[in-house]
C-alpha cells in the first residue's frame, strides 16, 4: 500500500451496492455434490483454506514503481540519472486475463513520474503499461507483454455474508511477497474517506484479515479460492481492520473500460449525511432513516431538479432508505442518464422529485 495511505484515519459512513452480470470476467469453481453413503472425504475448513490459497497465489503479482530516468545529463555529461524523488513504491495486483491484463488499486500506479514493473509469481519481471485508472473506485488496469498466464477465478461479492472466512494475499510491507492473512468478513457496505477531502470509497468489504502496506491491489479470496474483493486500505487507528473493493465493482469497471475506454458514473450532485442516532439528535429530526442534504452542487442534476439543503431523501422510486440500504446503496443501481424519482421530505411535506442523473467527470 502506498505510504500516504498509512496515515489515514478511516471513518465509516455509507453503503453502495453494485451488481453486475459477470460475463467473461466471472468464473465459478464447480463442486461435485457428495452422495449419501459415499466414501468421499469432506475437507475441513483448514484444508479447504489451504487449497483456496494454493489456487489463488499463482495469479498474484507484485508491483513496483521507480522514478523515471531524468533526461538531464549526469556529471559525466552522458548517461541519464535517476531522480531521487518521489522514491520507490510497491503494491500488489492479480491476473485478470491470460494475455497479461492485470488489475490493482489506482493509488498504487497513480504517479505518472514512475516506471512500473510487474513481478509474476515465478519471479519473471515485465514493464507495465497503465491502461486506465478509475479514481472513483480506486481501480487500475495494467498490461504486460506476457501470455498464457493463469487468471484468478472471480467470485460474486454480492453473495458474501458477515462472518464468512476470507484470506488476504499480498506483497506485505514490500518485502514479504505472497503473504497470506486470514480473517472473516466483519461488515459489508462500508464507506471510507481515505484522503480527508470529502471523497469516499463506497460499498467496501470490511475484514479483520490483516492488510498491511504493500497489500494494496491484492486479492481477498473465499474458501473456494475465488476472488471476492481487492485489498485497498487499512485502518491505522489500531483496530486491526482493513477494507477491500468488492469484486463485482471491479467487474463493472473492467467491462466499462474495455468497452468505452473509461468508467462512467452517475452523478446526483449533493453532499449529505446518513441519518443515524447522532445526526438525528443533532438536527432534532423525527426520522430514523434517510439522507439529509447538506449542500447542493451548482449546475448539478440535483440543482436542476430543485433539491435544497435541508431536504431529506427517504427513498428512490419504489425503494426506501433503511438500515439495510442507504442512499449510496440504492444509487448504485442506476446509471448516468437514468431518470429517477426521489422521495423527499421538505418542511414536513412529502414530495416526489424527478431527477435525470448526470455523469461524474
258 phi, psi to nearest 5 deg: -70, -35
Q: Are 220 and 244 contacting, i.e. CB atoms less than 8 angstroms apart? A: yes
Catalytic residue (choose from 165, 216, 311, 329): 216
Reply yes or no on whether 107 is catalytic: yes
Handedness of CA 277, 280, 284, 286 (dihedral sign): negative
CA dist 95 and 343 (Å) reads: 43
> Hey, what's the cell of 209?
484479515
160 phi, psi to nearest 5 deg: -65, 150
For 148, residues 6+ apart whose C-beta sits below 8 A from its C-beta are 98
Catalytic residue (choose from 59, 107, 156, 165): 107
CA dist 70 and 84 (Å) reads: 10
CA dist 195 and 135 (Å) reads: 12
Catalytic residue (choose from 134, 137, 138, 156): 138
> Hey, what's the cell of 4?
500516504
Catalytic residues: 107, 138, 216
Amino acid at each position: 500500500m502506498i505510504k500516504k495511505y498509512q496515515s489515514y484515519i478511516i471513518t465509516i459512513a455509507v453503503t453502495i451496492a453494485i451488481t453486475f452480470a459477470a460475463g467473461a470476467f466471472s468464473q465459478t469453481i464447480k463442486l461435485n455434490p457428495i452422495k449419501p453413503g459415499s466414501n468421499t472425504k469432506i475437507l475441513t475448513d483448514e484444508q479447504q483454506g489451504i487449497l483456496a490459497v494454493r489456487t489463488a497465489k499463482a495469479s498474484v503479482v507484485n508491483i513496483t514503481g521507480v522514478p523515471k530516468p531524468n533526461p538531464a545529463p549526469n556529471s559525466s555529461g552522458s548517461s541519464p540519472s535517476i531522480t531521487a524523488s518521489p522514491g520507490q513504491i510497491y503494491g500488489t495486483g492479480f491476473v485478470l486475463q491470460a494475455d497479461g491484463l492485470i488489475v490493482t488499486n489506482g493509488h498504487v500506479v497513480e504517479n505518472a513520474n514512475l516506471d512500473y514493473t510487474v513481478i509474476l509469481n515465478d519471479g519473471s519481471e515485465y514493464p507495465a503499461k497503465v491502461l486506465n485508472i478509475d479514481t472513483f473506485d480506486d481501480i487500475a488496469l495494467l498490461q504486460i507483454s506476457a501470455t498464457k498466464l493463469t487468471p484468478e477465478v472471480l467470485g460474486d461479492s454480492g453473495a458474501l455474508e458477515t462472518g464468512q472466512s476470507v484470506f488476504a494475499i499480498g506483497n506485505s510491507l514490500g518485502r514479504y511477497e505472497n503473504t497470506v492473512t486470514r480473517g472473516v468478513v466483519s461488515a459489508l457496505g462500508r464507506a471510507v474517506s481515505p484522503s480527508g477531502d470529502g471523497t469516499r470509497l463506497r460499498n467496501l468489504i470490511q475484514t479483520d484479515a490483516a492488510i498491511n502496506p504493500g497489500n494494496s491491489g491484492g486479492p481477498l479470496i473465499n474458501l473456494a479460492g475465488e476472488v471476492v474483493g481487492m485489498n485497498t486500505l487499512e485502518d491505522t487507528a489500531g483496530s486491526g481492520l482493513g477494507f477491500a473493493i468488492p469484486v463485482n465493482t471491479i467487474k463493472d469497471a473492467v467491462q466499462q473500460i474495455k468497452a468505452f475506454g473509461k468508467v462512467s458514473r452517475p452523478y446526483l450532485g449533493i453532499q449529505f449525511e446518513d441519518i443515524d442516532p447522532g445526526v438525528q439528535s443533532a438536527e432534532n429530526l423525527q426520522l430514523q432513516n434517510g439522507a439529509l442534504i447538506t449542500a447542493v452542487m451548482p449546475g448539478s442534476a440535483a440543482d436542476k431538479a430543485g433539491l435544497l439543503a435541508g431536504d431529506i431523501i427517504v427513498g428512490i422510486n419504489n425503494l426506501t432508505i433503511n438500515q439495510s440500504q442507504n442512499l449510496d446503496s440504492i444509487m448504485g443501481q442506476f446509471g448516468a442518464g437514468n431518470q429517477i424519482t426521489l422521495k423527499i421530505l421538505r418542511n414536513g411535506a412529502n414530495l416526489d422529485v424527478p431527477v435525470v442523473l448526470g455523469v461524474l467527470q
